[in-house]
Amino acid sequence: MCGIIAYIGKQKAVPILLEGLRQLEYRGYDSAGISVIQKEKIITLKAVGKVVELQNKIGERDFSGKIGIAHTRWATHGKPSDKNSHPHGDCEGNIFLVHNGIIENYQELKNILIKKKHKFLSETDSEVLAHLIEDFNKTLNFKKSVLEALKLVRGTYGLAIINKNEPDKIIIARNGSPLILGIGKDEFIVASDASAVVRHTDKVIYLGDNELAEITADDFEISNIKNKIISKKISKLNWTVEESKKGGFSHFMLKEIFQQPEVIGNGLRGRVERFLLEESVPMLGGLRMVEKRLRKIKKIVIVACGTSYYSGLVGEYMLEEYAGIPTEVEYASEFRYRKPILDSSTAVVAISQSGETADTLAAIREAKNKGALTLGIVNVVGSTIARETDAGTHTLSGPEIGVASTKAFTTQLVVLALWTLMLGRQRSMSNVMSKRIAQELKKIPKLIEGILKKSKEIQKIAKKYSSAKDFLYLGRKYNFPIALEGALKIKEISYVHAEGYATGEMKHGPIALIDENFPSIFICPKDSVYEKNISGMQEIKARGGKIIAIATVGDKEIARIADDVIYIPKTLEMLTPFVSVIPLQLFAYYFGVAKGYDVDKPRNLAKSVTVE
Ligand code: M6R
């Protein structure tokens, strides 16, 4: 949600900032802006639309400034426009800042500042910060002014600020919105996520909440909000530059769909093998320190949003059926306001690709306050959720740039399946059962490779239905969450109406929608609920509805009922979501592309939702 980049060093700042903005664009892309300190002046340029618009505005102009800040926006307060774009300035044009997050008490602060004759240009909450700092800067130095201003602020922020009166530095600060300080050779790069830093350095400091850094071209100093200097660990980024490129694919989303055999393999390697041995209870690395507590867990509550929530729903089926632990899955945004009943025998599991989703983070904090064990299933190493949970397992899917989650989902399923084996073995799962599941899990990458080879066939089916304005996605048991995920994918990137339903629920209402123009997508592998799904299909058919079926290879009966069939390979029922979701990802992708949309950056969305 909004991308921030800042540069200070020996090189010209503008090309570095623009490159950084291109990398960060997936975090928000309705407008972009840049401020650079040049010859004791601050030059600011902004443009509505994607980063390329800003680049066009800059054109051939050569900026020599070596200190600058930049921002790509996902609007919260005020529509996308030049005046609402960041960087925002103070009255005199001395102080400029970029902000990610929400200042909740901005109106209150704005009213006070207006009374003090401050002139506001935008409708944003962020501009208030520039004026507030300006106010303190009349009597205090730059750093102290920022500290005093932040004391008055309620809300979340990742901030990078420059000041014409102290033109040799950038100040950055964080509360609730991620900020990374990259430490290069003779230069520092600050960004809201690693993708913009990795080209310059792999040495980073993750700024914590209520921390601020004062950065000059040769040095930096980190303090807390009380102005106490603190020392922080330098971490190593685990991303490569190559991973942040499209690698010959037309979109990141397609690249990420095709990466799934590889990243699922990475998630399994060195982990799944231990369930094939005769060991008593294999433990996954990141959970070892909570092993004893895990044995005593009586209930699991999974908290997550969007696609991560749907992987949690698959996890609920797995954990209850094979580990025998009562499991609930909650929207993180609801959990925190619901007064959940938790104690030390509950494990609250946050599932998050980014590890920065504000609602999921808040849910985990709430769970911690109530004494629950908090665990994370997170992709981004070093992210806030990864750091704040008691223990967890990384999903190892590598950077996911496409706004629509694909490989993040299936690698979350990998971890959920491994946790099921581990928690199951701690309880009553036999060694024979855990071996059987582990053996089948190992085959998943190859099975997905087989489905990906059929992408052209799926593309044809997507084209055939390209005039549809609605879809009903249906599935049962393990594939009910896949129906939800399939519907979310097509909504996100194709802007068509789609609903995911449990097949059994369809006759209680949604069937009223069905006619020849409202196709249904049935996820109907040969599993324990196959017959029930077939009955649902017949009910749709009887009402003239078109059917696309996702079915197990060799199922001839289904071809007689459905209008189109996409076959998936056979696997254990518990593992069918790994293979059934792939055709739905491809279907949504090709459907969106056929409509001419930018599937990597769907309208109104942003990759990482760091506001409530
Ligand atoms: O980073 P997270 O996994 O916490 O993100 C949660 C959702 O915002 C995310 O899954 C979203 O629904 C995706 N755009 C889905 O494709």
Mutate to test the pocket of ligand 1, among 308, 309, 352, 359 (most ligand atoms within 8 A of CB): 308
Residue 60 has pLDDT above 90, yes or no: no
Does residue 411's CB lie within 6 angstroms of at least one atom of ligand 1?
no
User: Are 434 and 471 members of one domain?
Assistant: no
CA of residue 331 to ligand 1 center, whole Å = 12
Pair 95, 22 in one domain: yes
Q: Confirm or reject: Cβ of 357 under 6 Å from ligand 1.
A: yes
End-of-domain residue from the set 430, 451, 472: 451
Residues 284 and 420 in one domain: yes
- Mark whether 518 and 385 lie in a shared domain: no
Tokens coding 579: 């293979």
379 lines ligand 1 (CB under 6 A): no
pLDDT confidence of residue 28: 67
What does the pLDDT read at residue 1?
63
**Is 305 marked active-site?**
no
Domain-ending residue, one of 393, 419, 451: 451
| Span 54-66, average pLDDT | 91
Which pLDDT does position 239 carry in this prediction? Answer: 75
Look at residue 139 and tell me if it is in a domain.
yes
Structural domain that includes position 522: 455-594
**607 a catalytic residue:** yes
CA of 449 to the centre of ligand 1 (A): 24
CATH number for the domain that contains residue 29: 3.60.20.10
Ligand 1: distance of its center to the CA of 262 in Å? 21
Residue 553 has pLDDT above 80, yes or no: yes
Q: What distances in angstroms separate CA 553 from CA 450, 559, 567, 580, one per listed residue?
A: 11, 11, 5, 12
Q: Tell whether 222 is covered by a domain.
A: yes
Determine whether 99 is exposed, middle or buried from the number of CB atoms within 10 Å of its CB (0-12, 13-18, 19+). buried
Q: What are the tens digits of pLDDT across the range 270-303?
A: 899 989 887 777 788 899 999 999 999 999 999 9
pLDDT digits (tens, 9 = 90+) for 5-56: 999 999 999 999 999 999 887 766 788 999 999 988 999 999 998 889 999 9
> Per-residue pLDDT tens for 91-140?
999 999 999 988 989 999 999 999 999 999 999 999 999 999 999 999 99
The response to whether residue 307 sits with its C-beta less than 6 Å from ligand 1 reads yes
**Residue 600 belongs to some domain of the structure:** no
Domains in the chain, number: 3
Query: 332 in ligand 1 pocket by Cβ < 6 Å?
Result: no
Q: For a substitution probing ligand 1, which of 26, 251, 302, 305 has the most ligand atoms within 8 Å of its CB?
A: 305
Question: What's the pLDDT score for residue 82?
Answer: 86
Q: Among 302, 353, 605, which is best to mutate for testing ligand 1, by the most ligand atoms less than 8 A from CB?
A: 353
Same domain, 261 and 381: yes
CA distances from 297 to 103, 128, 329, 390 (A): 38, 47, 16, 14
Question: Cα(526)–Cα(537) distance, rounded to whole angstroms?
Answer: 14
Is the domain of 438 the same as that of 465? no
User: What pLDDT is stored for residue 601 in this prediction?
Assistant: 87
Q: Residues 590, 548: contact at Cβ < 8 Å?
A: no
Give me the numbers of helices (H) and strands (E) for the chain, helices first please.
19, 24
| Nearest residue to 3 via CA among 98, 124, 129 | 98
Rounded distance from Cα 305 to ligand 1 centre (Å): 6
Q: Is the shortest distance between the CB of 492 and ligand 1 below 6 Å?
A: yes
Q: How far is CA 43 from the centre of its chain?
A: 33
Q: What is the DSSP letter of 103?
A: B
Question: Hey, whose CA ends up nearest to atom 8 of ligand 1?
Answer: 306
Q: Which of 66, 169, 491, 607 is catalytic?
A: 607
β-bridge pairing 180-183 and 203-206: antiparallel
Residue 377, in any domain of the structure = yes
- The alpha carbon of 266 and the centre of ligand 1 are apart by a number of angstroms equal to 21
What is the pLDDT averaged over residues 507-529? 92
Q: What span, in angstroms and rounded, lies between the C-alpha atoms of 395 and 411?
A: 5
When pLDDT is averaged across residues 576-581 and rounded to a whole number, the result is 98
Catalytic residue among 2, 110, 143, 546: 2
Looking at the structure, do residues 170 and 310 belong to the same domain, yes or no?
no
Percent of the chain with pLDDT over 90: 79
The reply to whether ligand 1 has any atom less than 6 angstroms from the CB of 333 is no
Residue 405 Cα: closest atom of ligand 1: 16
Proportion of the chain in helix, strand, coil states, percent, rounded to 5:
40, 20, 35
* CATH number of the domain within which 525 lies: 3.40.50.10490
Residues 509 and 432 occupy one common structural domain: no
Place of tokens 């190593």: 236
Model pLDDT for residues 316-345, shown as the tens digit of each residue:
999 999 999 999 999 999 998 888 889 999
Whether residue 245 lies inside any domain: the answer is no
Distance CA 452, CA 230 (A): 50
Mutate to test the pocket of ligand 1, among 256, 400, 405 (most ligand atoms within 8 A of CB): 405
* Domain-ending residue, one of 424, 451, 478: 451
Nearest atom in ligand 1 to 385's CA = 4
Say yes or no: 200 and 216 in one domain. Answer: yes
When pLDDT is cut at 50, 70 and 90, the band that residue 579 belongs to is very high
Indicate whether 447 and 459 sit together in one domain.
no
Nearest to 201 by CA among 209, 214, 191, 212: 191
Pair (54, 203) in one structural domain: yes
Q: Is residue 113 domain-resident?
A: yes
606 inside domain: no
Return mean pLDDT, the chain: 93
Residue range 173-180: mean pLDDT, rounded: 91
Do residue 233 and residue 305 come from a single domain? no
610 pLDDT above the threshold of 80: no
Check pocket membership of 609 for ligand 1, CB cut-off 6 A: yes
Q: Which atom of ligand 1 is nearest to the CA of 354?
A: 1
Question: Could you tell me the distance, in angstroms and rounded to a whole number, from the CA of residue 611 to the centre of ligand 1?
Answer: 13
Query: What average pLDDT does range 418-443 have in this prediction?
Result: 95
Q: For residue 296, is it within any domain?
A: yes
Interval between CA 600 and ligand 1 midpoint (Å) = 14
Measured CA to CA, the distance from residue 161 to residue 511 in angstroms comes to 55
